[in-house]
Structure 1
Amino acid sequence: MLRTMRPSRRCFSVLSSLKNTAFEIEQKPVKAKAEPLSEAQNAYLERAIRVDQAGELGADYIYAGQFFVLANRYPHLKPVLQHMWDQEVHHHNTFNRWQLEHRVRPSLLTPLWKLGAFVMGAGTASISSEAAMACTEAVETVIGGHYNQQLRCLSNQYELQWTDGNRSPTQEITLLTETIRQFRDDELEHLDTAIEYDSRKAVPYMLLTEGIKTICRVAVWTAERI
């Protein structure tokens, strides 16, 4: 008579161990690997940091000029202006750090941005508080649109939704995207504040806003390249 072979306790133990190991391997998530940036992507990243640093420097000095003129004339505007200026200082300092960390050359026209921005802020504030707010509305409209364009580019070129599960955007690109999105929201908040404080009652409203928008667009284009 054939004797039925029964697995030993040791066999059961080995089989159980292999089964558990296989389950752990199956359940263990695949660690995402950052996709290295191409030369073109690195060039865009450098250009984005340069222009954003220049833009936030300009916004910082615009609000400095407005505050210098309006804070004592219109005490009710002082905390409003201070809040917006504080946010711009934070934006400016953030991109200063990015610029240093990534060794990005600043715009060669930085002294011009400082002088021109302060004159724009103080000059429109000297006309009226409404004119200063019209300046803010125009500037934040252009900056908000610029940040939206950058977010679309970053989404299309850097944060592609890969389906194989083993690639992801680099940490620096993710952080830059989050930073730009937060700053964009701050700028649009400033735009709403300007409208709330009678930017559209400025005289001459259209001449001021369209002229300042044109200056800002030229400044953005120039800062990206020079």
Structure 2
Amino acid sequence: MASTLRITLQPTSSLLVRSTCQTVTRALSSTAAPRQASAASTPSSGSSSSHIDGDSNTTASNVPPLRLSKEQRAMLEQMIRVDQAGELGANWIYRGQYAVLGSDKKVGPLLQNMWDQEKHHLKVFDGIISQYRVRPTLLRPFWEMAGFALGAGTALLGKEAAMACTEAVETVIGGHYNDQLKELLKIDHPDIAELRKIVQQFRDDELEHLETALEHDAQKAPQHEHISNFIKEGCKLAIWVSGKV
């Protein structure tokens, strides 16, 4: 399924809310780390399985300034804002899942590995937000709470439901990144070429998460279709809202 996505990409809500109300309040206080501040530099190449090197960004001294049309600049700002918000949400989804299932000897390490990659993704996009002087989403506190609630809620429904959550989220995000790559190919500039590499690498990471979820019984989750559709629609709405606010 994920290999196909690389080429073309394509009454459970109330239960989730009821299941997570108490867990969100309790686990947030014990698991929440200080919010990562936006940084101008990208992370070192030793972080996660991503192959993006923090020192690979071209500098202003050897790259001409970006000359973008008004439409291109608006597209770039919206793209970067959405991507940072998406990686933020993904971090808190895995944080919530790990708070519930982290002690599971089989699932815990899988969640930790995927979460580590998402931490790296967010750190990189925090740097890109600063580099391109893009206003981040104003809804950061909401995405943190919503992400944690979604992660913890699906984990409380069981390991398979947690993996179904990952499957749904990464399906949407993988397709979203793929659409962005098509738009970035229309802009010829060294800075944008570097950004394309980052987006492509992160897309591949997300599709690896999708493969992991499928390999670990995501589609065996109870009410899989309803959970998946609910989460996919929520992700699409979050992408749209983050681009605007």
Q: Does the pair score TM above 0.5?
A: yes
Instruction: Give me the whole-angstrom Cα distance separating, in 2, the residues matched to 1:34 and 1:64.
Output: 38
Q: Is residue 43 from structure 1 mapped to residue 62 from structure 2 by the alignment?
A: no
1:120 lines up with 2:139 in the alignment: no
Residue aligning to 2:59: none
List alignment gaps of at least 5 residues for structure 1. Answer: 1-31, 159-168
Q: Is the 8 A contact 1:34 1:170 kept in 2?
A: no
> What is the RMSD of the two structures over their aligned residues, measured on CA atoms?
1.4
Shift of 1:96: 0.5
Residue 197 to residue 123, structure 1, CA distance change in 2 (3 Å): same
Equivalent residue pairs, number: 183
Which structure carries more helix by proportion? 1
Which whole-Å CA distance do the structure 1 matches of 2:190 and 2:141 have between them?
32
Maintained 8 Å contact 1:70/1:78: yes
Q: TM-score, normalised by structure 2?
A: 0.72
Q: Indicate whether 1:175 and 2:206 are aligned.
A: no
Query: Deviation per CA, 1:73-129, whole angstroms, max 9, x where unpaired?
Result: x21112111110000000011000111122211111111100000000000000100
Q: Give the structure 2 partner of residue 213 of structure 1.
A: 232
Matches within 5 A, 1:140-151: 140-151=170-181
Percent identity over the alignment? 51
Which residue of the other structure, out of 103, 106, 131, is the alignment partner of 1:101? 131
Q: Deviation digits for residues 154-180 of structure 1, max 9, x if unmatched?
A: 11x21xxxxxxxxxx222101110000
Tell me which moved more, 109-118 or 38-47. Answer: 38-47
Describe the SS at the equivalent of 1:193.
Answer: helix
Residues in 1 aligned to 2:236 and 2:108: alpha-carbon distance in whole angstroms: 28
2:244 is aligned to 225
Runs of 5+ unmatched residues, structure 2: 1-62
Q: Is the 8 A contact 1:147 1:184 kept in 2?
A: yes
Distance 1:96 1:35 in 2: 20
Report which of the two structures shows the higher radius of gyration computed on alpha carbons: 1
- For residues 119 and 172 of structure 1, the distance between their equivalents in structure 2, rounded to whole angstroms, comes to 36
Supply the AA of the counterpart residue of 2:90: A
Say yes or no: does 1:135 pair with 2:165: yes
Q: Does 1:78 align with 2:108?
A: yes
TM-score by length of 1: 0.78
Q: 1:108 to 1:170 in 2, by over 3 A?
A: same
Separation (CA, whole Å) in 2 of partners of 1:35 and 1:63: 36
Runs of 4+ in 1 over 2 A off after TM superposition: 32-36
